[in-house]
Amino acid sequence: MGLSAIERAVALNPNSALGWSTAGWVQAINNRPELPIEPLERAMRLSPLDPLGYLFTAGFGYAHFAARRYDTAMEWVDRSLGEQTGFAPALYLKLALCGHLGQLEEGQRWVRRVPQLYPELTVAILAAFADAFESGDLRADYLEGLRKAGLPG
């Protein structure tokens, strides 16, 4: 349902960088890891200096996370956080990636920053939001990474 609306939106306005970025995000959270790359690249070509560029780079992070390319996902998430330090989806993915990559000290540094940005955040709270992931495996991987990084339950 959501994907068809996004496809219609970019058909009506093929020059919408935000539309193409959203198309990439929807593909990524629906566990179609190869499909988000093209729309996200298109978004970046359409608006290379977009003030919302951190959405594009975080989308690449989620796409590579879905493909289990954690090192590459981390590069994109770091880029996103460099553009917008408090962007919650990128921050949460950073934690999950730290857990999966065994970067536990780095994960702990970010976990200590979480209360400053998002007080009382726990894995349980993020689990409710992770229901957006169509794939149960992708959701489980995400939550497992958060736990490994040390985010409280």
Domain with 75 in it: what CATH number?
Answer: 1.25.40.10
- The structure tokens listed for 117 are 């940005």
Domains held by the chain: number = 1
Q: What is the mean pLDDT for each group of 10 consecutive residues in the chain (153 residues)?
A: 80 93 85 84 94 94 92 97 92 95 93 84 85 75 93 88
Residue 149: which residues within 8 A CB-CB, separation 6 or more? 95, 96, 98, 99, 104, 107, 108, 110, 111
The closest alpha carbon to 66, from 21, 27, 120, 105, belongs to 27
- What phi, psi does 135 have (nearest 5°)? -85, 125
**Structural domain boundaries enclosing 106:** 2-149
3-state secondary structure the chain: CHHHHHHHHHHHCCCCHHHHHHHHHHHHHCCCCCCCHHHHHHHHHHCCCCCCHHHHHHHHHHHHHHCCCHHHHHHHHHHHHHHCCCCHHHHHHHHHHHHHHCCHHHHHHHHHHHHHHCCCCCHHHHHHHHHHCCCHHHHHHHHHHHHHHCCCC
What pTM does this model have? 0.88
pLDDT at res. 132: 66
- Measured CA to CA in angstroms, residue 53 lies from 20, 115, 148 at distances of 12, 25, 29
